[in-house]
Amino acid sequence: MIEIKNISKSFNDRMVLDNVSGVFKKGETSLVIGASGTGKSVLLKCMLDLVRPEAGTTLYDGRDFYIGDEEDKKDIRREMGVLFQGGALFDSKTVHQNIQFPLDMLTEMGDGEKKDRVEFCLQRVGLEGTGNRMPSEISGGMKKRVGIARAIVMNPKYLFCDEPNSGLDPLTSIKIDELIKEITDEFEITTVVITHDMNSVLSIGDKIMFLHKGKKLWEGNSQAIMGDTVPELEEFVFCNKALSLMRAGK
């Protein structure tokens, strides 16, 4: 379980996050949704302590993440897997080496064992046989999937995905959503997914948090989101043509 408490962050006097709190439960896929530029990625970076907020804390199963130096945080960091918005694959390493990298750096596994684990993760994201390619030689969707493979290679307890399906075709995007959901259920992970894709919201969102201009305006599940009364959320949800037609029909 991850708890965020009263997180506020501003850049150059511009408030990007304003007193955001929330709880992300174990075994659930929690979504953070909101329009572009509302501070979703910044919230994620605060939770990962890549950006230190001015106020507030993040607790990982009760352990305060902002206390102590990097050495103290290492234990929690080992339990995290992160997919960044752009994939953040290491350009100078092959796909296989990218996925193996956390194992190399953080574990004492033997070579054979590492190879098996990497192959397993590659197969899990449907990329068997691409291990020898460089990140520059694969497509955007494949980069995302390699990013997910790298994020889960250490068997994380906490998985964070920043827009796992932006820039992908609808089919691949659904596949990635399902993959995240499956992994979460299978390994009882606490998963936080940032997205602005209504498809994902409706299909994989166990719990949804809606951010608007740095504030948390709404929280609930994917059923409740259709019948909500917050105008900003309504606007966000029903800008989707299919959904608005559906509402008009009912």
Partner 1 sequence: MLSVIGRYLIFLGKLFTRRESLKVYWKRFIDECIGIGVSSVFIVAIVAVFIGAVVCLQTRANLVSPIIPIYVVSNIVRDMTLLELSSTFMCVVLAGKVGSNIAGELGTMKITEQIDALEVMGINSASYLVLPKLLAAVFTFPLLAIISGFLGIFGGYLAGTLSGIITPEDYVYGIRYSFIPFNVFISIIKAFVFGFLISTISAFQGYNTRGGALEVGQASTSAVTNSCIAVLIADYLLAELLT
Query: Which CB atom, from 74 or from 244, has the smaller least distance to partner 1?
Result: 74
For the CA atoms of 163, 27, 177, 22, the dihedral, rounded to the nearest 10 degrees, stands at: -30
Question: What is the smallest separation between the CB atom of 160 and partner 1, expressed in angstroms?
Answer: 9
Name 22's bridge partners: 4
Name 191's bridge partners: 29, 159
Cα 73 versus chain centre, distance: 20
Nearest to 118 by CA among 141, 149, 80: 149
Using CB distances below 5 to 8 A depending on partner kind, what does residue 39 bind out of partner 1, Mg ion, ligand ATP, none? ligand ATP
41 binds Mg ion (CB under 5 A): yes
Q: Which stretch binds partner 1 (CB under 8 A): 31-39, 74-82, 211-219, 221-229?
A: 74-82
Number of Cβ within 10 Å of residue 139's Cβ equals 11
List C-alpha distances in Å: 138 to 76, 96, 119.
31, 13, 17
Question: What is the smallest separation between the CB atom of 232 and partner 1, expressed in angstroms?
Answer: 29
84 binds partner 1 (CB under 8 A): yes
103 binds partner 1 (CB under 8 A): no
Q: Which 8-state DSSP code applies to residue 94? A: -
Task: State the Cα–Cα distance between residues 96 and 100, nearest whole angstrom.
Answer: 6
How many CA atoms are closer than 13 Å to the CA of 222, on its beta-carbon side?
14
Place of tokens 């290491």: 90
The two structure tokens encoding residue 170: 């609808």
How many CA atoms are closer than 13 Å to the CA of 218, on its beta-carbon side?
23
Site residues for Mg ion, 208-247, by CB under 5 A, read none
Closest residue to Mg ion using C-beta atoms:
41
Query: Which CB atom, from 15 or from 88, has the smaller least distance to partner 1?
Result: 88
Q: Which residues bind ligand ATP (CB under 6 A)?
A: 11, 16, 34, 36-42, 85, 196
102 binds partner 1 (CB under 8 A): yes
Q: Which stretch binds partner 1 (CB under 8 A): 14-22, 42-50, 52-60, 123-131?
A: 42-50
Name 55's bridge partners: 8
Using CB distances below 5 to 8 A depending on partner kind, what does residue 115 bind out of partner 1, ligand ATP, Mg ion, none? none
Closest residue to ligand ATP using C-beta atoms:
41
Site of interaction with Mg ion (CB under 5 A) = 41
Site of interaction with partner 1 (CB under 8 A) = 45, 48, 50, 70-71, 73-74, 77-78, 80, 82, 84-86, 88-91, 101-102, 104-106
